[in-house]
Amino acid sequence: MRNRHYARLLPISLHAPNIYTPQQWISAGAPVKQTVAVVDRLSYWVPGPPMQEIRASLSSRCTQVSEEDLVRDTGAKWKQEFQPSSGQREWRTKVVTNGCAPQS
Sheet holding 91-100, edge to edge: 35-41, 91-100, 62-72
Strand intervals (E) in 1-104: 35-41, 62-72, 91-100
The answer, as to whether pTM is greater than 0.75, is: no
Asked if pLDDT for residue 85 goes beyond 60, the answer is yes
Higher pLDDT, 6 or 48: 48
Higher pLDDT, 34 or 12: 34
Which residues pair with residue 75 across a beta bridge?
A: none
Contact 56, 101 (CB under 8 A): no
pLDDT of residue 9: 53
- What is the domain partition of the chain in residue ranges? 34-100
Arithmetic mean of pLDDT over the chain: 79
pLDDT of residue 62: 93
Average pLDDT over residues 42-70: 82
- CA neighbours closer than 13 Å in the CB half-sphere of residue 2: 3
**How far apart are alpha carbons 15 and 65 in whole angstroms?**
26
Candidate from 18-22, 31-35, 81-85, 87-91 with smallest mean pLDDT: 87-91
Which residues pair with residue 91 across a beta bridge?
A: 72
